A and B are shown apart, each in its own frame.
Chain A
């Protein structure tokens, strides 16, 4: 729609809406101690948290892709009873408070958890307070972003391409690998990047399930919270700025694809 055609009131309310979103971010930028940014970013505590955040969020995105893409394909293509329920379960972390997710993970994968007790007894694997635990917590919260994107991609794909491949003699997996995957790849990448960005900012589930262990589970969001608690406002602001820049960068890069239009 052209700008000229928009009613003035709609523009005014739109401006109000965007200010509501933008002002807190502006506050963060306004209060940033620019002269101290480099020093803060060189602080070993900060570099450790940054490195750990990168490792955990990439790990979580990988887990989300490996588990989420097959799930999304099944949800999009296989008609089975209870599909809506399965989809709801797969997407529940989107609306669940992350802290609740952390408690649930603890009760499932903790040392005394539903599954965790057997992991501990049989394999000697304990997830709380470890980096794999932090990856698991982030993947739990981030995977729905991939599933929802991938399912839509599989659903919107013109199935005649796949049918054509099949009539030419390709097997099920070959069709997926040679036709479905290449055609949906852009959307899958978008889903993976969204999941990665969500994982990068994950706080509640991580601190609840994986705890706060420097060098193992203390990611950037946890460090922001701890710095704030300790009264180190400058450090908290600089780390917040890092997350803000990444988030805005990701959304600016993906927006059009995410909305499916220009």
Chain B
């Protein structure tokens, strides 16, 4: 049985590798490098766009912005880059591998708490309360940088129980009840609806607390017309509506 399975999977792999180029030639394909925090929103956007433009296929690759910037600079076959921070985008533009980035969305930080907010957390200051277990992203991740800056700005000296490697780890552990609260993006609160709740952070609406999402064509984009059509769609009224449905703020 095991052997049959191996043979089958090998055959499957071969089939997949043999036919991919043919499938591509049927439609115009836009290969998009997308920051992980845009996963749900861009999946929905791509579906909408493909319905409206039957001849074009959007093929997204989701990963951390820093990793994607590296790939674009290594001349990976990617036509469009949508980054979760300006730092990663500037690494690409400085190297001359992308042109004219445009900000298409912003994201706020928020406090994620368990269902029913059992510890009655209403502000960053409450995170320093006795017996509150709260999580932050590791400083290597943008959410960790933004989160630490927010705490500093609010003059809150709270010690996170753990520095999670990425924002979705914070979400999972709060939803599981293994932590009382965590600093995440507003879009994560939206995505976790039903499993956890959000508390807005208000420090005089400081823009330093918002993540900025730029998008740009890369230098190696071969079908510039199709690629810029997609970028225009993300920036359009329709695209913006979809993004706001997922909790993103307008640029």
Contact = CB atoms under 8 A, between A and B. Distances in A.
- Tell me what chain B mostly uses at the interface: helix, strand, loop, or mixed: loop
B163 A106 contact: no
Interface residues of B, number: 17
B165 A212 contact: yes
Interface of A: 106-107, 110-112, 126, 128-129, 207, 210-214, 217, 225-226, 229-231
Interface of B: 66, 133, 135, 138-141, 160-165, 173, 176-178
Contact of A129 (B66, B141, B162, B176): B162
Nearest to A110: B178
A213 B162 contact: yes
Nearest to A210: B162
Contact of A212 (B66, B133, B138): B138
Given A226-B140, A229-B140, A106 B161 contact: no
- Tell me what chain A mostly uses at the interface: helix, strand, loop, or mixed: loop
B66 to A, nearest CB: 8
A213 B176 contact: no
Given A211-B135, A229-B140, 8 more contacts: A112-B176, A129-B162, A211-B161, A213-B160, A226-B138, A229-B141, A229-B165, A231-B66
For the complex of A and B, list the 3 residue pairs with the smallest distance between their C-beta atoms, beginning with the closest.
Answer: A211-B162, A112-B177, A129-B161
A207 B163 contact: no
Given A110-B178, A112-B176, A112-B178, A213 B140 contact: no
A230 B163 contact: no
Contacts of A231: 66
Given A226-B140, A229-B140, A230-B140, A213 B161 contact: yes
Nearest to A116: B178
Nearest to A213: B162
B178 A128 contact: yes
A213 B66 CA distance: 23
Contacts of B162: 128-129, 210-213, 217
Nearest to B166: A229
A133 B222 CA distance: 52
21 contacts: A106-B173, A106-B178, A110-B176, A110-B178, A111-B178, A126-B133, A128-B162, A207-B165, A210-B162, A211-B161, A211-B163, A211-B164, A211-B173, A212-B163, A212-B165, A213-B161, A213-B163, A225-B165, A229-B141, A229-B165, A230-B140
